[in-house]
Amino acid sequence: MRESLVLTVIGPDRTGLVEALAERISAAGGNWEASRMAHLAGQFAGILLVTVERSRTDELVGGLRGLGGLLQVTAHPAGATPTATASQQVLLELTGDDRVGIVRDVARILAERAVNVEDFESTVTSAPMSGEALFSARAILRVPTGLALADLRASLETLGSELMVDLTTGE
């Protein structure tokens, strides 16, 4: 029987980290199912889903501990898939002036409306004309069927007059 593990990894970025991680997973008979990885501020960070024969889980985890000089790896048993509720997948794109607390405020509005964040990416760059800090975010959301997207957009737009909000259904 196969077990699913969610691995989190972080360490100073350098060439060969993904190869070292993949080699340890493969050596224990594990299968790399899905992942998200990124270079952030000199660090390599990621999260991945691996399946492995239950009898080889300890071997896999031990092999990953051997990467301590390269990466810190934490293994978590994958949780059960949540019960499906009536919802739709929505792509959220936000752009506006950056300020302290903007992610907190967006997350609060989403949570208050029972919107689940399935994927989230954000950056701060310089605005082309003014050079001011510009916040951009892209998220995949799971929105309850009864929530009108116009209402969600209006709520998010209250966070700033210059905040551009785009919501697109994905299903």
- Taken in order 146, 151, 156, 162, the sign of the CA dihedral is positive
Give the position of tokens 């960070």.
45
Q: State the pTM of this model.
A: 0.82
Nearest C-alpha neighbor of 160 from the set 78, 116, 79, 96: 96
2-77 CATH, one of 3.30.70.20, 3.30.70.260, 3.40.920.10, 3.90.1170.50: 3.30.70.260
* Per-residue pLDDT, 129: 81
Q: Which residues of the chain form beta strands (DSSP E)? A: 2-12, 31-40, 43-53, 72-77, 87-97, 116-126, 133-144, 164-169
- Hey, is 99 helix, strand or coil? coil
- Tokens matching residue 136: 């951009």
Residues of the chain with CATH 3.30.70.260: 2-77, 87-169
> Cα angle vertex 124, ends 140, 158, to 5°?
65
Q: What string of pLDDT tens digits covers the 171 residues of the chain?
A: 999 999 999 999 999 999 999 999 999 999 999 999 999 999 999 999 999 999 999 999 999 998 988 999 999 999 876 666 788 999 999 998 899 999 999 999 999 999 999 999 999 998 888 888 999 999 999 999 999 999 999 999 999 877 888 888 865
Q: How far is CA 117 from CA 61, 135, 157, in A?
A: 29, 18, 18
The pairing of beta strand 31-40 with beta strand 164-169: unpaired
What pLDDT digit, counting tens, does each position of 115-151 carry?
999 999 999 998 888 888 999 999 999 999 999 999 9
Q: How far is CA 92 from CA 71, 97, 112, 125, 169, in A?
A: 32, 17, 16, 18, 9
Cβ neighbour number for residue 81 with a 10 Å cutoff: 6
Bridge partners (DSSP) of residue 39 are 44
Domain 87-169, CATH class in plain words? alpha beta
